[in-house]
Amino acid sequence: DAGITQSPRYKITETGRQVTLMCHQTWSHSYMFWYRQDLGHGLRLIYYSAAADITDKGEVPDGYVVSRSKTENFPLTLESATRSQTSVYFCASRDRLTNEAFFGQGTRLTVV
Amino acid sequence: SQKIEQNSEALNIQEGKTATLTCNYTNYSPAYLQWYRQDPGRGPVFLLLIRENEKEKRKERLKVTFDTTLKQSLFHITASQPADSATYLCALDLGAGGTSYGKLTFGQGTILTVHP
């Protein structure tokens, strides 16, 4: 199916563990993004990527690592999870022609 | 500092009325401004984009205005329906000369509730 998919949808992990959130898009969009959404803060940009092998920090990058070896995949890794990283994470890709962003369904991550 | 503010956290209106949502920004120079709708438990969905050199954009019952002097965008839903109830997010697409830098910066959103 065409679109952007995130996995897992829900994840509970322990403090200090490494966890990777997956994002896959089928359109070959150049731009991809990771946001976190928390009450009182709205959507905040963690990292973004303009193309394969090109990534850059957003507003809240600390504690996160990204990679983009293939255009269609943009995984987000929490190297050592902390409770403050409990959040809903959204991946998005962007159509350069229309400038419209397409979001995945989100991953709800709980760090205990 | 850079800031994006949406006028209120929540807006309640009666069915059939026009809902008007406000997005104000400071210390940004957006190439575009976008509006998204987000339903509970879902990702945001694109609604409209307006460029820095455009004053107004329409799509069915939706209308967006963009005033780069006031640094403000207004988002209107006419003849509102209960199905329009959702969170609406404005997003700045930074850039210059009509060219986007690529990333979107979002406001906190306004929760719109349309009562029957």
pLDDT at A40 over 80: no
Alpha helices in chain A (DSSP H): none
Model pLDDT, residue B8: 74
pLDDT at position B28 is 80
B59 touches chain A (CB under 8 A): no
Count up the domains in chain A and report the number: 1
Q: Residue A35: which domain range?
A: 4-111
Q: Which domain holds residue B72?
A: 3-115
In this predicted structure, what is the pLDDT of residue A70?
94
Backbone angles phi, psi at A85, to 5 degrees: -90, 5
Confidence label for B95 from pLDDT (cuts 50, 70 and 90): low
Record: contact B42-A105, CB cut-off 8 A: yes
pLDDT of residue A42: 85
Q: Is the pLDDT of residue A1 over 80?
A: no
A95: closest CA of chain B, how far (Å): 10
Contact A45 B105 (CB under 8 A): yes
pLDDT at B63 over 80: yes
Query: Residue A43: which pLDDT band, with cuts at 50, 70 and 90?
Result: very high
C-alpha R_g of chain B: 14
Quote the minimal CA–CA distance from A22 to chain B in Å.
15
**Percent of the residues in chain B that have a pLDDT greater than 90, as a whole number:** 71
Residue B28 in contact with partner chain A when CB distance is under 8 A: no
Give the number of domains in chain B.
1
pLDDT of residue A41: 81
Tens digits of per-residue pLDDT, A57-97?
999 999 999 999 999 999 999 999 999 999 999 999 998 88
Specify the pLDDT at position B97: 61
Q: How confident is the model at residue B27 (pLDDT cuts 50, 70, 90)?
A: confident
Q: Which residue has the higher pLDDT, B96 or A81?
A: A81
Write out the E strands in chain A: 4-7, 10-13, 19-25, 31-38, 42-51, 54-57, 64-66, 76-78, 87-94, 101-103, 107-111
Residue B37 has pLDDT above 70, yes or no: yes
Tokens found for residue B25: 């920004």
Identify the CATH number of the domain in which residue A76 sits.
2.60.40.10
- Check B41 against A106: CB less than 8 A apart: yes
Residues in A closer than 8 angstroms to B93, CB to CB, are 99
% of chain A with per-residue pLDDT over 70: 98
The stretch B75-93 carries a mean pLDDT of 96
Query: Are residues B106 and A35, on separate chains, in Cβ contact within 8 Å?
Result: yes
CA distance B37 to A87: 19
Distance CA(B40)–CA(A102), nearest Å, equals 16
Determine the longest span between alpha carbons in chain B, in angstroms: 44
Q: Does any CB of chain B come closer than 8 Å to the CB of residue A104?
A: yes
The CATH number of whichever domain residue B48 belongs to comes to: 2.60.40.10
